[in-house]
């Protein structure tokens, strides 16, 4: 959805699917920094839906956190290929 400008979405599981993700567009938004100043920050929203009969919510959350870390520092992706 992000490829066509969408920012928020709610992925819906279809029969036979265990998990589905949706990626929103990257936008620049103001965010407070640790020192209290405002700075422009690039944000991309990701939404997940999972069948909890197959996947625990904590598993999906760990996967989401790992994906976030890789997207924030793409060089990690190359290091994890070794």
What is the chain's pLDDT, residue by residue, as a tens digit (82 residues)?
666 777 778 888 999 999 999 988 889 999 999 999 999 999 998 999 999 999 999 999 999 999 999 888 888 888 877 6
Looking at the DSSP assignment, which residues form a beta bridge with residue 21? 48
What are the backbone angles phi and psi of residue 24, rounded to the nearest 5°?
Answer: -90, 170
- Model-level pTM? 0.73
Residue 55 sits at the vertex; the CA angle it makes with 50 and 61, to the nearest 5 degrees, is 75
In angstroms, the CA 41 to CA 35 distance is 15
pLDDT at 78: 82
In angstroms, the CA 44 to CA 9 distance is 12
In angstroms, the CA 1 to CA 5 distance is 7
pLDDT at 82: 67
């Amino acid at each position: 959805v992000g490829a066509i400008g969408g920012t928020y979405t709610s992925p819906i599981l279809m029969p036979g699917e265990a998990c589905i993700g949706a990626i929103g567009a990257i936008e620049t938004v103001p965010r407070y920094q640790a020192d209290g100043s405002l700075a422009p920050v690039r944000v991309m929203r990701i939404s997940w839906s999972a069948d909890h009969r197959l996947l625990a919510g904590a598993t999906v959350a760990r996967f989401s956190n790992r994906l976030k870390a890789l997207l924030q520092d793409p060089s990690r992706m190359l290091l994890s290929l070794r």
